[in-house]
Structure 1
């Protein structure tokens, strides 16, 4: 990833958490970026409806809104 820290894609309530949107497929990836983007950990993949991936990721990291 060239620019892993995108302010518009930041997940609220999750330190270093971001979402990546796959619009055509209808999916979202919730990920955590460690350091300068050397390590990107995918926490969840889910459908766009209801922010499913974001909710699962928050549960896995113990953080929430």
Structure 2
């Protein structure tokens, strides 16, 4: 069973602002996650305890997602730079609402 990928509307805007090469790298990683999105080494903590991350080390970008089993969905919450934990702060604010 493959998980579908859906975006928070604000995360989708961030996605479209990314350079195409960055977007392609994220797409490749997201496709791999569709079979098994639960990667323990990518699990976040604190306010984002139910979330996971995809990191692109070379470019410094992060994608934060949540797995919704009932709907078989990988829900992308935020996409942004790692600097000052920006992507994580944005994701935390979005989940709190």
Q: TM-score normalized by structure 1?
A: 0.78
Greater C-alpha radius of gyration: 2
Structure with higher helix content: 2
Aligned to 1:43: 77
Q: Which runs of 4+ in 1 moved over 4 A?
A: none
Consecutive unaligned residues of structure 1, counting only runs of 5 or more, are none
Consecutive unaligned residues of structure 2, counting only runs of 5 or more, are 1-32
**How far 1:28 sits from its partner (Å)?**
0.1
Q: Deviations over 1:3-60 (max 9, x none)?
A: 2111111111324201110223320001111118920111111112122111110110
Alignment coverage as a number of residue pairs: 63
| Structure 1 residues 1-65: aligned runs within 5 Å | 1=33, 2-13=35-46, 14-35=48-69, 38-62=72-96
Moved more, 48-57 or 9-18: 9-18
Q: TM-score normalized by structure 2?
A: 0.56
